[in-house]
Amino acid sequence: MTLLAVMVIADRKIISTEITAWVKSVISACRQSDQLSVPSEARLYEWFDAEWLPLRETMTNRDLDTWLTPLIDRVLKVCSHATLMGLLEDIAQSDGETHISEKALTVLVSMQGGR
Each residue of 53-69: pLDDT tens digit? 999 888 887 777 788 88
Give the per-residue pLDDT at 115.
53
Give the per-residue pLDDT at 50.
95
Burial letters 62-76, b for 16+ CB under 10 A, else e: eebeeebeeebeebb
Distance set, CA 68 to CA 20, 34, 42, 72, 105 (Å):
23, 23, 26, 6, 9
Number of domains in the chain: 1
Domain containing 96 equals: 2-113
pLDDT digits (tens, 9 = 90+) for 80-91: 899 999 999 999
Q: Rounded to whole angstroms, how far apart are CA atoms 92 and 105?
A: 10
